[in-house]
Amino acid sequence: MADNILKIENLGYDYETEDENGEVIKNVALKDISFEVKKGCFVAIVGSNGSGKSTLAKNLNALFVPSRGRVLVCDMDTKEADPIDIRSKVGMVFQNPDNQLVSSVVEDDVAFGPENLGVDPKEIRDRVDEALSKVSMTEHRKKGPHLLSGGQKQRIAIAGVLAMQTECIVFDEPTAMLDPSGRKEIMDIIEELHKEGKTVILITHFMEEAARADEVIVLNKGEILFDGSPKKLFTKDNQELLDKANLKMPMAASLAAELGFKDVVTDEELINAALK
Amino acid sequence: MAIRDITLGQYFPGESVIHRLDPRVKIIATLAFLVSLFFIKSFSFFAFAAVCLAICIKLSGVPFKFMAKGLKAIMLLILLTMVVNMLFTPGEVVIFSIWKITITKEGIYRAFFMAIRLVLLIFGSSLLTLTTKPIALTDGLERLMSPLSKLGLPAHELAMMMTIALRFIPTLLDETDKIMKAQTARGADFENGNLKEKAKALIPLLVPLFVSAFRIASDLAMAMEARCYHGGSGRTRMNEMKMKSSDAWAFVLLVVYFAAIIVSRRFDLF
Ligand SMILES: Nc1ncnc2c1ncn2[C@@H]1O[C@H](COP(=O)(O)OP(=O)(O)OP(=O)(O)O)[C@@H](O)[C@H]1O
Ligand SMILES: [Mg+2]
């Protein structure tokens, strides 16, 4: 049990909105979701627009609490525990690089999380320096976020979560608003963090990114359609499932299928297989 | 685009003694200086205040030209004040009078008096913003106001609001720029027409701007919550403020200056 960072049991979530007549309409966004995330795992969550990915993400660190079922973060129920305790275990990086930085100075922004947690000033300084060097943004530490590129802003957002020293980081489409080079920068950092032992949950639209995870969860209309390794997911047999979820095979996987290579889903694996 | 050039609370980067002073000391000193200007009764002590301020400006290393730029924007206001004072100050010693307009010696005296006071006010307050980072300014204000939070003043919240405003002014300016370009491409005209037409042209600008401001606000609130923000209680700060010996000296000098101004009121120096 101790090595489970996250345990999701029959999670359901409804949005409640009011129509013109003031009547409450229930919009069921998540239905009967169950899965576990082990310490140090890299889990990708994919699905088409409106499939409930962001709603699920927000349920993972008590930004939302379940309408049905429960979410356990390090054995704490998000419905009962202090949200601060939950959020100091599970950090989150959002999609829009512009709308998640608080301060007009990069290093003060990175310090925001630890400051909220009441960490000692000297330790905050050390954590900020370390986090900034990890995302290679040390030289920009005194700048204003508005002077940085989208990819750089996203790296600052990551540094902000790193400085909180959470067990797990949830990335909600962190690369969706970036150009290809920015996307690669962020993916490299995410893989690096995973290698260093951080638990990573990556929500993405890009199957190439999902192919690099240990485990992929496919969401469709608020339900889990598939939960397993990318090698199992991206096979010809699953074409129907992928079509249903409105997803495409990663380029490398479909090419490998054509060429008859087995267990190939990422670009590197394709190159290696081709060289053999 | 010109809109991008608007800089609010400009900061002039530097490492001077003035830059390095504790922001709290600078805020108090600036307030004291501004108040002192209203105690001054004579030109000679305006000269004294001006010399003191000039020394501070010199120490700060901010070029005088750069400071004077801030003056340009309110030149009109100063001139207007001068004219109004000249015309409407009652006085005995008439210098000249045409038709219904009488210019008296007292009027001229008052006009210059007010103008000098205004100029010193502007220079004094811009020295603060030019030599203090906006973030240090809001931090300093938060700490100065924090004793008042026991009386119900939301010191932390006010400082947080200022911090966020400073952060998002450039973002919103960018957004305005983008929307303006998009609307211009669709044939909107922001430059020509009378006041009513201009005001009307602003509607297609303001509506999307408000929408995007609300979007930013809700995203940001979520992001702040995710980073464990829960108000000011139990919060620590990375940048601790410590009074240095230079801050103590600045304080002593400030007291001496203020005492001199108070004492000056007892003498009728000209
Ligand atoms: N604030 C809200 N109020 C009401 N319904 C919402 C709200 N946010 C999302 N929904 C609905 O919940 C469902 C899931 O939305 P969610 O944002 O989780 O999807 P997503 O998978 O993250 O999509 P995307 O790929 O566009 O980010 C959608 O049907 C959406 O319309
Ligand atoms: Mg989403």
pLDDT tens track for A46-57: 999 999 999 999
For residue A79, is it within any domain? yes
A113: nearest CA in chain B?
B227
CATH number at residue A195: 3.40.50.300
Cβ of residue A61 closer than 8 Å to a chain B Cβ: yes
Report CB contact under 8 Å: A87, B228. yes
Domain count along chain A: 1
- The enclosing H or E element of A259 equals helix A251-259
Say what the pTM is.
0.84
Domain containing A176 equals 4-89+166-275
* pLDDT in the model for residue B8: 43
Chain A CA closest to residue B217? A99
- Lowest average pLDDT, out of A41-55, A159-173, A187-201, B188-202, goes to B188-202
Collapsing DSSP states into helix, strand and coil, what is residue A101? coil
Secondary structure (3-state) at A72: strand
Mean pLDDT of A23-39: 93
- Rounded to the nearest 5°, which phi and psi values hold at B229? -70, 130
Q: Considering the domain boundaries, does residue A152 fall inside one?
A: no
- pLDDT at residue B255 is higher than 80: yes
Burial grade of B226 (CB within 10 A; 0-12, 13-18, 19 or more) = buried
Assign 3-class secondary structure to chain B.
CHHHHCCCCCCCCCCCHHHHCCHHHHHHHHHHHHHHHHHCCCHHHHHHHHHHHHHHHHHHCCCHHHHHHHHHCCHHHHHHHHHHHHHHCCCCCEEEEECCEEEEHHHHHHHHHHHHHHHHHHHHHHHHHHHCCHHHHHHHHHHHHHHHHHHCCCHHHHHHHHHHHHHHHHHHHHHHHHHHHHHHHCCCCCCCCCHHHHHHHHHHHHHHHHHHHHHHHHHHHHHHHHCCCCCCCCCCCCCCCCCCHHHHHHHHHHHHHHHHHHHHCCCCCC
Whether residue A46 lies inside any domain: the answer is yes
* Spatial separation of the C-alpha atoms in residues B144 and A134, rounded to whole Å: 35
Does A123 reside within a domain? Answer: no
Report if residue A137 sits inside a domain.
no
Is there a domain that residue A107 lies in?
no
DSSP one-letter code for A221 = T
The answer to the question of residue A204 being in a domain is yes
Window B:197-256, CB contacts with A under 8 Å: 215-216, 219-220, 222-230, 234-240
- Average pLDDT of chain A, as a whole number: 92
- Whole-number Å distance, alpha carbon A27 to ligand 1 midpoint, is 10
Phi, psi of A115 (to 5 degrees): -60, -45
Between chains, do A63 and B226 touch, taking CB under 8 Å as contact? Answer: yes
Task: Give residue-wise pLDDT tens across range B148-180.
Answer: 888 888 888 898 998 898 888 888 888 888 888
Asked whether residue A142 is assigned to any structural domain, the reply reads no
From A110, A106, A103, select the one nearest A126 (Cα to Cα): A110
Q: Rank A132-141, A232-241, B175-184 by mean pLDDT and report only the highest.
A: A132-141
